[in-house]
Amino acid sequence: MHDQVAKRLASNSQANTFRTEDDSNQASHPVDIHVGQQLRIRRVHSNLSQTELGQKVGLSYQQVQKYESGKNRISASMLYEIASGLKVPVGCFFDGLPQPGSGEGAAIAPEADERIAYLVTAEGRRFVEEILRLPPKLRTRTLAVIRAIAGEEGRAEED
């Protein structure tokens, strides 16, 4: 009975206007996706695998994976446990979100989420590490080359 009431309330709530559909046809709220991505960033930054973090807080690696993807919401108590396990403040998982009540709820940028998701991949981390090994002047030149390549590919796609 409680589940039915919760579903009815959820379907009538204004928050549903911000939900997006994922491949499994379950609704994921952009905030849940953002918090999950922040979790992944903090976990990777702490050099922990999903299994290691799960062991610290009493979860399976699959559950950590679902939290990181935004498929499952993280309860307040679990978010607190995860923050404690990672030794970070709970609020860091909400960094980058618009302030509640600011009217910017729909402005959660999916392209920023895509960038964050890339940076926490193994390839993204290696890319950043290699770029940081370059002297600053060479970094600037490398960026110019990347922009030129990206610009040429964009023009080639238009043809």
Q: What DSSP assignment string belongs to 136-149?
A: HHHHHHHHHHHHHH
Comparing 150 with 18, the larger pLDDT belongs to 150
Confidence of residue 159 (pLDDT cuts 50, 70, 90): very low
Residue 43 structure tokens: 């976990």
Q: What is the pLDDT of residues 28-86, one digit of tens each?
A: 888 888 899 899 988 988 889 999 999 999 999 999 999 998 899 999 999 999 999 99
Is the Cβ–Cβ distance between 90 and 61 less than 8 Å?
A: no
**Count of CB atoms situated within 10 Å of the CB of 2:** 6
Rounded CA gap, 43 and 54, in Å? 11
27-55 burial: b if 16+ Cβ within 10 Å, else e: ebbbbbbbbbbbbbbbbbeeebebeebbe
Q: What is the mean pLDDT of residues 122-131?
A: 87
